[in-house]
Structure formats: C-alpha cells, structure tokens
Amino acid sequence: MNLTRISLSNPVAVIVGILLVSLFGLISIAYLPIQLIPVVERPVIKITTNWRAAAPKEVEAEIIEPQENVLRGLPGMTKLVTESSRGRGKVTITFNSGIDMQRALLDVLSRLNRVQRYPEDASEPILSMVGDNTRPIAWLIIKPLPGNKRPINTYQDFVEDVAQTRLERVPGVAQSEAFGGQKKEIRITFDPYLAASLGVELPVAAKLAGGAKDVSGGTVNVGKRRYTLHFAGRYSIEDLPGMIIEWRDGKPVRLSDVAKIEKRFKDKQGFVLQNGELAMALNARREQNVNVLEVMAGLKEAVEELREGPLKRAGLSIQQVYDETIYIDRSIAMLATNMVLGVILAIGVLWWFLRRFRATLMVALAIPVSLLLTFIVLYASGRTLNVISIAGLAFAVGMVLDAAIVVLENIVRLREKGMDAGEAAELGTSQVWGALLASTATTVAIFLPVVFLKNEAGQLFADLALGIAVAVTASLIIAVTVLPTASRYWLREMKDSDKHAHWWEAITGKIMALTNSRKRRAAWITGLIVLPLLITILTIPSASYMPKGNRNLVFAFILPPPGTNTDTMEKEMGSFIVKQLAPHL
C-alpha cells in the first residue's frame, strides 16, 4: 500500500484527517489528568499493627514474631524488614519488580489470617501499598482564633468529624489525616493498697473492667416468631463506678472502691507547631490517575467553606501551608515555555536554511500535528500530563522535523530539475521512504521497550519513552502523506539556483583535501571517536535518581533519644527548631 499515492489522490481526506487529529488532540489535552510526576507503583507492602502502651520487646514477641513466621516463603518476596517501637509494630515487604501487587496483597492478607492470636487490646493489622499517591498533595493548619482560650489539642474529635470528613468528600481525595490532637478515653486508675486491703486481684479486676462488651446470643424460636438475643454487657461511664468486681464476706466490692474512674484526654503522642504555637495539621492524599489541579480546586473550595462555616463558629482558623499544584504549575509552565521556544527556534533555523516561507511552513506543520496525535495516544493509554511526559514531547520537537525536512528537500530538488509537482511529490517521497522508515524504526526501538518495563524506572520514564516514540512515528506518517500533498498544491514552480553554491563547493573541497590520504582519514576517524569519549568521561555529571527540585520547603526527620517523652520533645527540641528556623520564615 502506497500511502503517498493514496494521499495525493485524496487531498480532502488528508485535510479532514488533520482537522480530526487537531480536534481530538485538543480534547485530549483538556481531559488529560495533570500531575507532578507519573504514578510509580513500588512493589512494597507495609503492615502496621498498633498495641497501645506496649513496650518494644512485647511488640516484638507478641506481634512481629508471629507475623514473621507466617510471612516466610511468601511468593515473590525479596526482602522483609521489621521494626518494633513503643506501641507499634511495622513489617515492610519488598517484592520482585513486575509482580501483580493485587495478588501479592491477597497473599499477605491470607498469611496474616493464619496468626492464631493477637493481644486483646491490639488493633487489627493495617496494610498499605507504597506508591506515588502516598505523598499528601496539601497540608492545612488549624489554630484557635484570637480570644479562644481552649487548647487546640482538645479539638481532635471535632476536627475529625467536621474538617477531615469534609475534605474526604472532595472528588479525587482518597484519604485525609489529622495530627496534633488528643482523643478522649475512659481511664481507670487502680489503688493497689485499697485493692490489696479488700483482697482484689488487680489482673482480674482490670480484665473485668476492660473486657465488658455486648455479646450476641443467637436466636430463639417462640411460637411462630424467631427472636434475636443480645446481651448488653457494655458499661457506660456512669455505670462503671457501680460495677461489681468481687464479693467479700457476702458484700460486693465495686470498681469505685478500688479505682478512680475519669473521662480525660489520652496521653499526647505527638504535637504540631506553627511559628512556635501549638496547632493541628490536616493533610489530603489524592486517588490515582486524577487531575491534581481539579482536586486542589475542590480542596480550596472545601477549606473556604470550613473557614467561614463550622470552624469559625467553633473559634478556629484554617490555613493551607502546602500546595503541590504550585510546583506542578511552575514545572509544567517552565517545560511548556521551553517547548514553545524550541519550536520557534527549530522553525527559525529551518527557515534560515530553506529561505522559502511556504516550504518552512509545511515542514513546521509536522510539529503541532505530531504533538496533538501524541496527546491522543497518551490519553487513550491512560497516561497523565506531567513533567516527564512534557519533557518527552520537548525532546521530540526537534526529532519530528527530520523526516519532513528530508522529504521536502528531495521534492524541492526534483522540482528544481523541472519535474511536475505531482510526480515530484510522489517520486521524491518514495526515494527516501526506506531510509526514513529505518531511521524511525531505530528511534522507536530504543524508546518503546521502556514502556514495557515494570520496575520503578520503567514506570517513571514510560511517559517520556511513549511520547517520543509516538511523536516520531507520527512525524513519519505526516512526512509521507501530508507533506507530499501540501507540496503538490502549494509549492510554486522552482528554478535550480543557489546563490551560495560556491561557498558549499569551497567547504567541500577543503574537507576533501583534509581527508585525501589513508593516514589522514585514519587520524580524523580516531580523533572524532576518541576526543568525544574523553570529553564525556571528564564532564560526565554525577548520577542520581531524580534531579533536585527548587522548592521553598524542607522536610526533615529527627530521631530523639530512645525513651524521650512527647512533652520533653515539645519543650526542648520543638522550641529549639522553631528558634533556628525563625530567621528564614
């Protein structure tokens, strides 16, 4: 099938094709999800099990070791790392690249179900898959308004019920978390001396007080009806003081006789400081493959609603302190500007050599059409618009001109020899078709395999590789269909004249003189191979996973000495850090 001949005989179809590509390309740009970087699914599963107030050794013995025993030999697992800390146990499992993570998650769940028993007051294990969406796209700070003397840490339940719930209702938000507050709890403090004097064993009393709960009793048939039995064993805080925990000499020993019962806030597990003042923090994590700009717009609308509504009535203020879309906008704008500048420079250089306005315009047409077709493929394949994919398009700007320049130059050469426009368009394209196909195939063969890599690097650079491969392929199709058709109807009659022919002949003569012997040719070949290699070795930059970004924020992790309590960290470390950072804020 001769694409050039078909295009030349159907110019209207070529025009319609360009219009359709332009239309659907613009629609694809509008609907492509915008993110900072591509979604990278790391083959890592984390298991977190909380056991409040348990010592690290207890967590190791009662939680981590049983989980390690059942997780051994997990298919595809390459590394298993455990961590035991006060009140928490963590297991991090790393799998082979390319493994089906949904299947791996089910395998881990199945293995964890084999753990026979966890401590009664330990929570169920929480599983999470580590990916790009684990990074919050927004951080918010909540503080008391002037005149509100209530401590901010006492608003935990209110913030979770009102602010956190509102953020999670925003389309595209997967999860929101609140930090810096304290929940309420019922605390029973036993007096060991009173308990001993009344002959009450503290372990038994603690089990009775903490283990009271509602129990289902099944069903019973009475006549024609079936009734569900339910034993109400859970005590309210008002009933707890009268709870009988022991009988002595025929008299009941109640919980209030040996313990103090109070509803109070839990011990502080962390704190949030903003400019030296205590605050609460909220974050928002996005779902995968969503437009971050649209999600952020919804978040800002929700924040404004909270600020002027329930938070204001509660005497609280809310302020957004981190917005990922700022860096997305900056990065994409910078790359888009560079890409446009590259297009302008490419067209300028092209015109400098061609010195024909119509010819330059026809070749330049390959750039927007190729890029728009690439946007269509990116959207159809479920990709996103990010700094990696835009960088790939920027790289492709210069590459998409190659095929068009070769075809047009050959057509112009034949026209200058007096050949008819239609014949020159078909013959000029067919003469270079094989070379262009080979050149495009080698470029695609280099980049396209990256799309099928399942490891982290493959996922990160797949958008770049796909963008370049599609753009170069599209440029070949345009060069053998659109360009010959346009040259047939748009290029004027040309004469074989070159004002600078004597310059080219002089340069060619000098080059031939420099390579007119075997020794000279060998010397030039050796120099042209060795010199670039030496320059590359001497100037090669240091390797890194990703280039350093220019963000006006700092994330830091500080590990305090083992056993340091939260109050000490707040007074000593928190105040010191705030003081050191104050001049830079």
Q: Quick one: pLDDT band at residue 545, thresholds 50, 70, 90? A: low
H runs (alpha helix) in 97-182: 101-112, 156-158, 165-168
Average pLDDT, integer, range 362-383:
89
Average pLDDT, integer, range 435-444:
91
Cα–Cα distance list, 363 to 356, 369, 400, 519 (Å)? 11, 11, 9, 41
Q: First and final CA of the chain: distance in angstroms?
A: 67
Neighbours of 152 (CB within 10 A): 22
What is residue 497's predicted lDDT score, i.e. its pLDDT? Answer: 57
Residue type (1 letter), 164: Q
Q: Quick one: pLDDT band at residue 505, thresholds 50, 70, 90? A: confident
**386 DSSP assignment:** -
Average pLDDT, integer, range 184-197:
79
Q: Quick one: pLDDT band at residue 143, thresholds 50, 70, 90? A: very high
Q: Which of 190-204, 320-334, 464-478 has the highest mean pLDDT?
A: 464-478
Lowest mean pLDDT among 218-227, 275-284, 320-329, 495-504: 218-227
**36 DSSP assignment:** S
Q: Quick one: pLDDT band at residue 215, thresholds 50, 70, 90? A: very low
pTM: 0.70
What is residue 303's predicted lDDT score, i.e. its pLDDT? Answer: 93
What is residue 402's predicted lDDT score, i.e. its pLDDT? Answer: 85
Determine contact, residues 4/410, Cβ cutoff 8 Å.
no
Distance of CA 458 to the CA centre of its chain: 14
Query: Phi and psi (nearest 5°) for 134?
Result: -75, -15
What percent of the chain has a predicted confidence (pLDDT) above 90? 22
Q: Which helix (H) or strand (E) holds 415?
A: helix 387-416
Q: pLDDT (tens digit, 9 = 90+) per residue, 28-84? A: 988 888 888 787 777 888 999 988 778 888 889 899 999 999 998 888 888 899 998
Q: Quick one: pLDDT band at residue 488, thresholds 50, 70, 90? A: confident
Lowest mean pLDDT among 111-115, 208-212, 395-399: 208-212
Query: Phi and psi (nearest 5°) for 578?
Result: -60, -40
- State yes or no: pLDDT of 372 exceeds 80: yes
Sketch out the chain's domains with CATH numbers.
Answer: 1-31+366-497 (1.20.1640.10), 37-132 (3.30.70.1430), 135-183+267-324 (3.30.70.1320), 191-265 (3.30.2090.10), 503-540 (no CATH), 554-585 (no CATH)
CA dihedral (382, 386, 391, 397) positive or negative: positive
What percent of the chain has a predicted confidence (pLDDT) above 70? 88
Pairing label, strands 126-131, 173-179: unpaired
